[in-house]
C-alpha cells in the first residue's frame, strides 16, 4: 500500500486504538476504514521526515533491561539506533491489559520506532512465573490475541536462551490488508518475557525487522 503522510498515519493509528476496544461495533470499524481510505487518497510518502528520523538516530545502540536503564526487565537487550524505550506506567499497564483483554502478562516497556522514522512499536510484556517453557508462555499470550488469521511458530534462540517465536497476521480494523506481527517468549530465573513487534503495515514491518533481530541476538538474562 502507498505510505500515508505522518499526520494522517498517526491519526489513523489513533482511530485503530479506539476501534480495537470495540471491534464488535461495525459502525466504528466502517468509520476507521473510511478514515484510512481518505488518508490513503490524500497521503504521499513523506521521505523527508523519514530520513530526518533516521538521521536523528545516529548514535550507538543502547542496552536496556538492567537497573538504571529506561526499562528494568528480567532480560536485557540492545535497542536499535533512534528507537526510544520508555517504561510502562501502572496506568498504561492497566489500560493495555483492558485493551488486549490480557491476563497472562503485563505491559512493562514500549520501544517506539517513530524517532527512527518508522511507524511501529516493540512492546515488552512480563510475568513473574518461572515454571513455564517459552512455548507455553507464548501459547498463553497468543490465546489472548484477537483477529489472528495466520501464525507460524518456531523454536529458536534469543541470545543464548531457548526461545519460542511466532510470526503472525491479524485482520486490521483500519486497513484492507492484514497487519503482520511477531512475538518472542523466553523464561528466566527472574520471570518470563514476551517481546512483541507491531507495525503499521507490511512495509513498515519489513523495515523494522533489523531492530527486532538486534534485540533477539543480543538478549541476555539479568542477574
What's this model's pTM, rounded to 2 decimal places?
0.75
DSSP 81: T
Helix or strand holding residue 97 (H, E) = helix 90-100
Instruction: Give dist(CA 74, CA 108) in Å, integer.
Output: 10
For residues 120 and 207, the answer to whether their CB atoms sit within 8 Å is no
| Radius of gyration from C-alpha coordinates of the chain | 17
pLDDT, tens digit, 9 for 90 and up, residues 114-156: 999 999 999 999 999 999 999 999 999 999 998 999 999 999 9
Average pLDDT, the chain: 80
Q: Which of 97, 149, 152, 85 is nearest to 126 (CA)?
A: 97
What domains lie within the chain, and their CATH numbers? Answer: 61-221 (3.40.1000.10)
For residues 73 and 108, the answer to whether their CB atoms sit within 8 Å is yes
pLDDT, tens digit, 9 for 90 and up, residues 191-211: 999 999 999 999 999 999 999
Amino acid at each position: 500500500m502507498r505510505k500515508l503522510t505522518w499526520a494522517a498515519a498517526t491519526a489513523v493509528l489513533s482511530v485503530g486504538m479506539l476501534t480495537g476496544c470495540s471491534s464488535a461495533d461495525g459502525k466504528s470499524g466502517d468509520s476507521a476504514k473510511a478514515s484510512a481510505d481518505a488518508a490513503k487518497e490524500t497521503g504521499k510518502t513523506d521521505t523527508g521526515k523519514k530520513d530526518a528520523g533516521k538521521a536523528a538516530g545516529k548514535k550507538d545502540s543502547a542496552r536496556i533491561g538492567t537497573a538504571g536503564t529506561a526499562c528494568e526487565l528480567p532480560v536485557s537487550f540492545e535497542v536499535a539506533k533512534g528507537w526510544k524505550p520508555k517504561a510502562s506506567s501502572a496506568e498504561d499497564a492497566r489500560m493495555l491489559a483492558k485493551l488486549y483483554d490480557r491476563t497472562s502478562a503485563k505491559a512493562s516497556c514500549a520501544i517506539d520506532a517513530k524517532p527512527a522514522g518508522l511507524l511501529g512499536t516493540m512492546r515488552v510484556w512480563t510475568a513473574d512465573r518461572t515454571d513455564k517453557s517459552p512455548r507455553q508462555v507464548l501459547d498463553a499470550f497468543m490465546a489472548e490475541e484477537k483477529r489472528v488469521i495466520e501464525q507460524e511458530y518456531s523454536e529458536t534462540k534469543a541470545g543464548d536462551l531457548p526461545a519460542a517465536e511466532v510470526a503472525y497476521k491479524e485482520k486490521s480494523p483500519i486497513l484492507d490488508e492484514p497487519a503482520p506481527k511477531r512475538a518472542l517468549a523466553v523464561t528466566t530465573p527472574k520471570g518470563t518475557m514476551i517481546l512483541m513487534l507491531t507495525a503499521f503495515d507490511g512495509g513498515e514491518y519489513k523495515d523494522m525487522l533489523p531492530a527486532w533481530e538486534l534485540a533477539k541476538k543480543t538478549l541476555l538474562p539479568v542477574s
